[in-house]
Amino acid sequence: MLFAPLTLRSLTIPNRVWMAPMCQYSAATDGPDTGAPDDWHFAHLAARAVGGAGLILTEATAVSPEGRISPADLGLWNDRQQAAFGRITGFLSRHGAVPGIQLAHAGRKASADRPWRGGAPLGTGEGGWPTVAPSPVPFAGGYPVPEELSADGIRGVVADFAAAAERALRAGFQVVEIHGAHGYLIGEFLSPHSNHRTDAYGGPFENRIRFALEVVDAVRAVWPDELPIFFRISATDWLPDGQGWTVDDTVRLAKELLARGVDLLDVSSGGNASGVRIATGPGYQVPFAARVRAETGWTVAAVGQITDPHQAESILTSGQADAVLLGRELLRDPYWPRRAARALDVPPRRPEQYLRAN
């Protein structure tokens, strides 16, 4: 089943081994190519297409300059970025992989340094910028207090997501994923841990999901009916009941997203609360995806320490998910899908140039 195609709307993805979005923090940080993918991104993504991944999702790509996690993040708010992505999507498509993009706004976790430099927040004198959030609540100690988004500011971010989706289509992407996970802006609105508003975007569940639904509606309005939209969610903040977003909330939101034309829920967890201890292990997030699928009948993808071909196959055949997203394992081995095919006695897909490697 891992190598069976999956059709969403009119798009058929050739297998269910997909590459999860993983930030590379390697884009230009100044000049006309700020935020545009370069040779590193081309080589990084192209290798996974040659390796046999059925769908390749780019890293979190900011819909505006202030939406970047770091100054070195990718963006899709101008023509140069759009053109640079076109080179990548063309290669992925020619070599059998579906090109997808994750659109994001980092909210209060924006304006941070690269992880290998410590990942600390950057001041304006260090190449950083003021951050925004649903409420003036910093992510953690040492983080600045973000500016609370006004109603006009919210409308502006929604418009940025729609504009980036239009650019993504022109750049050749066939899947767009809205990033609502890991404590970035959409996830900040969802959770009472980070959303302390008292207006129409805060308080009860119906208000806290309003921003997410407005983004989805705006993207669906400009994205072709024949192409799918994904939504990445953190199924839980891993906080005690009543203090944050929960799996129950995720199931409720999933039903709302399905009604608005989202085709797949990409189920992750965490990232919105600092200092939280998470008991990780092989497939530790799979039960969240399984519950959404069981209670909604919706198409879901599982992610999180999926590393073994037989483990991945079991997740699908047991009905816990419809696809698996691999992250670190594909960093370690770009050819994991081909190795998995051999382990499962499936003929691997490989470029003609590599046929002699049988």
Which residues have a catalytic role annotated? 184
| CA distances in angstroms from 115 to 71, 265, 333, listed in the order given | 12, 27, 21
User: How far apart are the C-alpha atoms of 329 and 312, rounded to whole Å?
Assistant: 12
Q: What is the DSSP code (8-state) at residue 181? A: -
Q: Are 11 and 226 in contact (CB under 8 A)?
A: yes
* DSSP code at position 26: -
Evaluate whether 268 touches 233 at the Cβ level (below 8 Å). yes
Residue 269 CA to residue 288 CA, distance in Å, equals: 9
Cβ neighbours of residue 248 closer than 8 Å, sequence gap 6 or more:
none
- 10 Å CB burial of residue 216 (0-12, 13-18, 19+) is buried
Six token digits for residue 253: 């939101």
Inter-CA distances, 302 with 67, 139, 285, 289, Å: 26, 26, 7, 6
Query: Which parts of the chain are beta strand (E)?
Result: 6-8, 11-13, 17-19, 55-62, 98-104, 132-133, 147-148, 175-180, 229-234, 264-268, 300-303, 323-326
Cβ atoms within 10 A of the Cβ of 217, count? 13
Q: How far apart are CA 133 and CA 16, in angstroms?
A: 35
Give, as one character, the DSSP assignment of residue 204: S
